[in-house]
A = this chain, B = another copy of it.
């Protein structure tokens, strides 16, 4: 394993639950069949570029702690090539089918937009070569519209239309690169599409700008024949005080407002869900109910901290029910599980990246097996069906079918509905029993 960046192993393999090898999978067995598909095809796991290869370990109170070969002074494109080699080494070592990137992750920001564009084009080619060599595919690409100072007041929602145009450049290029690389989705996360203070903000105008931008992206997608799905990633706040794509329900209303609900879906991030005051399962259930479920950024937040900690998931129990819900709805179509998760700032060894991903992937696999049991068991689903059975009876059908308020009100007068236990504790026990 000479010249390797990650020295712990050259390939993480499935060894089963009894393995005590910390760099083996105990649950992730890609070819195991789960509800009619390979586990790998149910989970569609992607590793992200940014946290693991671009972040030096800075936080708002301290400088970088992580010292990687490509995080050095030197020619930025050469550094980007070294970074890409390391990234694909990790992807291959983990044996994951997908990865994800921002334009600025794979290629550097240079002096001008034009030079930066050229570097991005060159690195897109380099990525294509790595993908052909390794067979690793692109779950989605995206453009970083939040790090450069020009975006300090937003990209599409900037008070300055020139910034909107610069954002258009980046998104056009990133979308086309994603298309060229066979990406399955294209994601928009509006990190600065929001406001710091309402005092200087024209909310109505900014929403219209955002709607206009998304419409342009959808039209361009069709123009170039990109077959993938456009996804919006909701987040309520941070870095801005308030972000417009606040949560799944807010994005749904936004899509309806601009007539895009059939064109765009959501990429739900666990930690963004909890920052918005929702459970992850709630956001998944809401997206499924509203018909805009797309993909998942898997990670976890800290229940006591009010910012995006992007930790690796490590509790399969937390994920079994959301996964069962996704499976009941037919599983992913274009989406997958992208590890938008970062190691802690103190995890400075290169192999900490391996440990983190192995643990996270195993957590997902274990949750999938639990979800499979829940779906096969069927008692939970049947309990819910029974609970709402009245709605398939005559009264229920009439009420939903067009009975007017006065008739319903008259019917109601004669009724004295019996309370029925919601059985929450019994159902919680049932879940523990099954998983």
Chain B residues with CB under 8 Å of A358's CB are 429
Which of the segments A126-134, A177-185, A400-408 contacts the partner chain? A400-408
Which of the segments A33-41, A77-85, A312-320 contacts the partner chain? A312-320
Q: Do B239 and A62 touch across chains, with their CB atoms under 8 A apart?
A: yes
Q: Do A304 and B63 touch across chains, with their CB atoms under 8 A apart?
A: no
Q: Do A253 and B242 touch across chains, with their CB atoms under 8 A apart?
A: no
A72 contacts partner chain B, Cβ-Cβ < 8 Å: no
A159 contacts partner chain B, Cβ-Cβ < 8 Å: yes
Bound: A58/B412 CA distance, A: 24
> Given contacts A198-B279, A346-B422, could you give 8 more A-B pairs where the C-beta distance is less than 8 Å?
A59-B60, A64-B149, A161-B391, A161-B393, A165-B395, A201-B384, A241-B302, A352-B421
A286 contacts partner chain B, Cβ-Cβ < 8 Å: yes
Bound: A242/B420 CA distance, A: 20
Q: Do B252 and A427 touch across chains, with their CB atoms under 8 A apart?
A: no
In the complex, which residue of chain B has the Cβ closest to the Cβ of A116?
B413
Q: Do A62 and B165 touch across chains, with their CB atoms under 8 A apart?
A: no
Max chain B C-beta neighbours (<10 A), residue from A147, A173, A388, A411: A388
Bound: A247/B400 CA distance, A: 25
Residues 411 to 435 of chain A near chain B (Cβ within 8 Å): 411-413, 415-433
**Main SS of the interface on chain A?**
helix
> What would be 26 A-B contacts, judged by CB atoms less than 8 Å apart?
A22-B433, A58-B60, A60-B239, A152-B346, A161-B395, A162-B412, A172-B405, A197-B422, A198-B285, A199-B431, A200-B423, A200-B424, A202-B384, A202-B388, A203-B286, A204-B288, A205-B388, A216-B403, A216-B408, A219-B405, A242-B282, A253-B256, A277-B304, A314-B428, A343-B425, A348-B420
Which one, B242, B383, B399, B413, contacts A164 given CB within 8 A? B399
A306 vs chain B, min Cβ distance (A): 1
Bound: A254/B49 CA distance, A: 36
Q: Do A212 and B400 touch across chains, with their CB atoms under 8 A apart?
A: yes
Chain B residues with CB under 8 Å of A418's CB are 160
Q: Quickly give the copy total for this chain.
A: 4
Chain B residues with CB under 8 Å of A426's CB are 22, 352, 355, 359
Chain B residues with CB under 8 Å of A88's CB are none
**A220 and B406 contact, Cβ closer than 8 Å, known pairs A281-B198, A304-B278:** yes
Q: Do B165 and A408 touch across chains, with their CB atoms under 8 A apart?
A: yes
A233 vs chain B, min Cβ distance (A): 13
Chain B residues with CB under 8 Å of A216's CB are 403-405, 408
A326 contacts partner chain B, Cβ-Cβ < 8 Å: no
Q: Do B317 and A315 touch across chains, with their CB atoms under 8 A apart?
A: yes
A267 vs chain B, min Cβ distance (A): 17
Q: Do A151 and B62 touch across chains, with their CB atoms under 8 A apart?
A: yes
Residues 157 to 197 of chain A near chain B (Cβ within 8 Å): 158-173, 191-192, 196-197
Chain B residues with CB under 8 Å of A236's CB are 277
Q: Do B307 and A162 touch across chains, with their CB atoms under 8 A apart?
A: no
Chain B residues with CB under 8 Å of A169's CB are 408-410, 412-413
A303 contacts partner chain B, Cβ-Cβ < 8 Å: yes
Q: Do A413 and B117 touch across chains, with their CB atoms under 8 A apart?
A: yes
Bound: A236/B307 CA distance, A: 14
Bound: A433/B417 CA distance, A: 50
**A390 and B161 contact, Cβ closer than 8 Å, known pairs A117-B413, A149-B62, A433-B20:** yes
Q: Do A307 and B304 touch across chains, with their CB atoms under 8 A apart?
A: no
Chain B residues with CB under 8 Å of A256's CB are 253, 256-257
Q: Do B388 and A159 touch across chains, with their CB atoms under 8 A apart?
A: yes
**A217 and B424 contact, Cβ closer than 8 Å, known pairs A161-B399, A277-B236:** no
Q: Do B217 and A405 touch across chains, with their CB atoms under 8 A apart?
A: yes
A38 vs chain B, min Cβ distance (A): 23
Bound: A257/B282 CA distance, A: 19
Q: Do A168 and B412 touch across chains, with their CB atoms under 8 A apart?
A: yes
Q: Do A165 and B415 touch across chains, with their CB atoms under 8 A apart?
A: yes
Bound: A428/B359 CA distance, A: 8
